[in-house]
Structure 1
Amino acid sequence: MTSRIGGVARRLKQDHSGLALMEFAFTLPIMLGLGGYGIEVSNLALVNLKLSQVALALADNASRVGATSTLSTQQLREVDINDVLQAVRVQGEGIELTTRGRITLSSLERVRQSYDAASPAALVQRIHWQRCIGLKSGTGYDSTYGTASANAGSTAAESNKGTDLAAGMGPTGSKVNAPDNSGVMFVEINYLTKPLFGTLLMEPARVHYIASFIVRDNRDFSRIFNPSPAATGSKCNAYAA
């Protein structure tokens, strides 16, 4: 009996017919994990590229839009802002941008308004108005670099002048400033990523992007115009996709 068992053991030791299958079984989880992680990293890179493009496109579009008035200046209207924000919705559909993020468009201006003093010192950096879309709210999603009231810029009155800033908008050490007698369209996007494999390989993370463009045309900076039929402004006290 012992010799028979020994013979079977020797034959099993010399049998390599199932070796490849066993090696495959051992390495498959590792290969799947590495492959899945590579896919997640690639997806995250694509999301970052998309958000960068959306931020740049929004700032660029917002710096161009407006209706030419009889004074050869362009009036920026609520409907114009809604149009450029609608473009963001379309661009971000594939990554659920307005559901999983928050987009803030700010008009940073260095323009003397009718209620400002005539002295050069009265020419300050100011968030004259802001408009927003996106469902996300709170710290890390609402504007990081300054806020203005919901009605700021909706009239030419001093009560709706917005928020004066000492040094412009943006991260410390690289703040954006509007040129004299002009403005900058400053865009901030905050977005919560959605990993392809849930939380198995990568946790959701907040991605942050900013972009800015100087206003291209001779814009009337006194207010946001809203002629009849009036449009509903995308004010930052509302959270909608």
Structure 2
Amino acid sequence: MYLSKKLSGLKSCKFIKRTLSALAVNTSGLALIELAYSLPILMGVGMYGAEVANVAMVRMRVNQVSMHAADNASRIGEGSLLSAKKIYENDINDLFVGAQRQAGSTIDILEHGRIIISSLQRHSDGDQYISWQRCKGKKAHVSSYGTEGENSPSRPTDGMGPAGAKVTAPADQAVIFVEIAYDYQPLISSNFTSTRTITTRGAFNVRDRRDLTQVYNQTGSDPVSRCDLYNSIS
């Protein structure tokens, strides 16, 4: 009886030993284990790359919107070869509609951003000032380079734009300056990028001879995109 139990115990030990030896050389599940360890890292790197690429794409698109808006604003106006072009409030409103459509519904630039269009001109004293300024968008952002009015406290006397790259208007002409501030909307998570607000600028000289005295209101009741209003296209 005792001998039988001892033999049974030896067989069990040999079985366990054979099993452990077989497991020690078995690599059939190694790839699955390695994948389980590396998958979170690979997913993190992939999501980070996708977010960085999206930031670059959105920045490029917002920059294109600012350049095209400035270009379009420099061309608008109604007139003939014999008279200076007049611009109307509805012309400016159409610019905002065009900018929104160019940006696309994915960005929704007026829902999450602010477009500021300024007409930079030369004052009679030789300095610069903003003759008129129109804004559209729900983001609370004031022009970084000055506000409209000959006597504005933030009148951009030396031009508009960042230090070292300011633009100025020649005498009897105007420069259209567009600034866009946009709150970046993460593709996956804001933890993958430090970008929170994208700010771009665009500027073009007015193409034709333009009436620089005012922005006309064709019907007297056309909506004015004032800069103290924070709204999107209605």
Give the superposition deviation at 1:4. 3.0
TM-score under structure 1 length normalisation: 0.85
8 Å CA contact 1:55–1:188 kept in 2: the answer is yes
| Alignment: residue pair count | 218
Q: For residues 73-88 of structure 1, what are the structure 2 equivalents within 5 Å?
A: 73-88=84-99
Equivalent in the alignment of 1:116: none
Equivalent in the alignment of 1:174: 165
Counterparts of 1:83 and 1:190 in 2: how far apart (Å)?
Answer: 19
SS of residue matched to 2:18:
helix
162 and 217 in structure 1: CA distance in 2 versus 1, 3 angstrom threshold: farther
SS of residue matched to 1:222:
coil
The C-alpha deviation readout for 1:88-113, integer Å capped at 9, x for no partner, is 1111232121111111101101154x
8 Å CA contact 1:111–1:181 kept in 2: the answer is no
Counterparts of 1:224 and 1:66 in 2: how far apart (Å)?
Answer: 10
State yes or no: 1:108 paired with 2:88.
no
Equivalent in the alignment of 1:142: 142
The C-alpha deviation readout for 1:74-96, integer Å capped at 9, x for no partner, is 00110111111110111123212
Counterparts of 2:151 and 2:201 in 1: how far apart (Å)?
Answer: 20
Counterparts of 2:63 and 2:134 in 1: how far apart (Å)?
Answer: 19
Mark the runs of 5 or more structure 1 residues left unpaired by the alignment. Answer: 113-121, 153-160
Aligned to 1:211, which of 197, 202, 207? 202
State which structure, 1 or 2, has the greater radius of gyration over its C-alpha atoms.
2
**Identity over aligned pairs, percent:** 39
The CA RMSD over aligned residues, in Å, is 1.8
Counterparts of 2:190 and 2:204 in 1: how far apart (Å)?
Answer: 37
8 Å CA contact 2:145–2:156 kept in 1: the answer is no
SS of residue matched to 1:165:
coil
Mark the runs of 5 or more structure 2 residues left unpaired by the alignment. Answer: 1-11
For 2:109, the aligned partner's letter is L
Give the superposition deviation at 1:166. 2.1
Equivalent in the alignment of 1:192: 183
Aligned to 1:39, which of 38, 50, 53? 50
Q: For residues 1-241 of structure 1, what are the structure 2 equivalents within 5 Å?
A: 1-68=12-79, 72-92=83-103, 93-110=105-122, 112=124, 122-137=125-140, 141-148=141-148, 161=150, 163=152, 164-202=155-193, 205-228=196-219, 230-241=221-232
The C-alpha deviation readout for 1:114-149, integer Å capped at 9, x for no partner, is xxxxxxxx2331111110111010xxx32111112x
8 Å CA contact 2:117–2:179 kept in 1: the answer is yes
